Structure 1
Amino acid sequence: MIRQNTVTVDAQHAKVIMKASGNTYPVQFSVKRAADPDQRMELLGTVVDSGQGKVFGWIAKLNEVANSATVKRFPQLEAQADADQEFQVSGYSNGTGAGGTYSCGPLKSAFIPERSKVYLVEFQFIGSRCEQHVYDVTQPDQRISVTSVPAV
């Protein structure tokens, strides 16, 4: 199985986790850091909600293995963010599903990460629409909503 990069938190950086929820449609995530010399969005990869916690464990695991091995889609992506500098995440999903074609996004979230924190950017499928939210998940049992700054 192909493994994605993992990131650790340190005194100068934050960790940003990107996930999808609510459907098994693939979601492409791109990021932009304020300090990047090239201010175009950088494509990080594609995530898929494997159904972990919603279907039998072996089905979710099979989904994860099939997605990572064949099309390099993962349950989550991780990125390191500079503390106190704007970090922007764009999520986008489109393709063909059982109900025909669909498209959602790109949805952009921009926020100022704090040092040594862990953030979750979640692309949520809610019925026929989608939303993207940012949460502080430094404490694993807490999900604190993070206020976005206007994306430029």
Structure 2
Amino acid sequence: MNRTLYLSVICIATTLAAGGCAQRSNGLASNTIQQSEQAGAQPPETSAEDSDKATLIFRANGMPMPVHFWMGPPATSCDNLESVGKVFDSGQHTILPWIARTTEVLNKGLLRTETERKRLVLSGTPVKIRGRSAIQSYSCVPRALVFTPEKGSIYLVEFLFDGKQSCSQQITDITEKNHPRRVMEAPRRSATTRYELADREC
């Protein structure tokens, strides 16, 4: 399967997801908070085994388009951050099951994109996190976030789509499965077709 076909299927899934999101949710804020709480209620098996480290879990939420994450020291320019890899939301909560399965097969098989990525980082050391979604002429880049992870904690880093109009990024502490705690959130930023301009923003 070539890249053109992949992009076509993703665009179709994206259109259907946008319609599904509009019908099933009254707003992104309440929906994403609920999903973050669900993620916190079922923490991943990976934990910060090293007492000097914390766990970061990277996910996308709201649309099936791939999202690329980077991370590194706060002083590092966005162009020089270390790549974490690409993630995507299979759309199981917003689109038809067969479309969600197709999207997952295409993402994992063609672009080696996963539904989540995990990294261990030193606790007590500030880290900058950046996410970007770019496909064909579409691009959305929330403001990069800088925070200091705590020892032994587990954090969910989410790239949030508000349909195809805008996106944001948030970090939630999900160490205590029944008590997820929002750490910080980047302001919502409008998507653009001007890829070069969006790519320079950080």
User: For this structure pair, what is the TM-score category when the shorter chain's length is used for normalisation?
Assistant: 0.7 to 0.9
Amino acid at match of 1:53: H
What is the match of residue 19 of structure 1?
59
TM-score, reference length from structure 2: 0.60
Cα deviation for residue 107 of structure 1 reads 2.9
Residue 146 of structure 1 aligns to a residue in which SS?
Answer: strand
Q: Distance in 2 between matches of 1:41 and 1:47?
A: 17
AA of the residue aligned to 1:115: K
Match of 2:29 in 1: none
What's the counterpart of residue 70 of structure 1?
A: 110
Unaligned runs of 5+ residues in structure 1 are 1-5
Secondary structure in 2 matching 1:73: coil
Q: Which has the higher contact order (CA 8 A, sep 6+)?
A: 1
Which of 1 and 2 has greater Rg? 2
Aligned mate of 1:9, from 35, 48, 51: 48
Could you tell me how far apart the structure 2 residues matched to 1:139 and 1:61 are?
30
Letter in 2 for 1:9: A
Q: CA deviation at 1:55?
A: 4.1
Q: Trace 1:32-51 onto structure 2 (pairs within 5 A).
A: 32-33=72-73, 40-51=80-91
Aligned-pair CA distance for 1:41: 0.3
Distance 2:46 2:120 in 1: 6
CA distance in 1, matches of 2:180, 2:141: 23
Query: Unpaired segments of 5 or more residues in structure 2?
Result: 1-44, 186-201
- In structure 1, the partner of 2:180 is 143
Matches within 5 A, 1:71-86: 71-86=111-126
Distance, in Å, in 1 between the alignment partners of 2:179 and 2:102 is: 29
1:87 equivalent in alignment to 2:127: yes
Q: Does the residue aligned with 2:160 lie in a helix, a strand or coil?
A: strand
Q: Which residue of 1 aligns with 2:148?
A: 112
- Report the identity percentage: 30
Conservation of the 8 A alpha-carbon contact between 2:67 and 2:88: yes
TM-superposed CA distance for 1:139, in Å, is: 1.9
2: distance between equivalents of 1:142 and 1:70? 37
- String of CA shifts for 1:21-47, please: whole Å, max 9, x gaps: 11111110001046x9xx930011111
Q: Which has the higher strand share?
A: 1
Q: CA deviation at 1:56?
A: 5.3
Structure 1 residue 59: deviation in Å? 4.8
Q: Which has the higher helix share?
A: 2
Partner of 2:92: helix, strand, or coil? coil
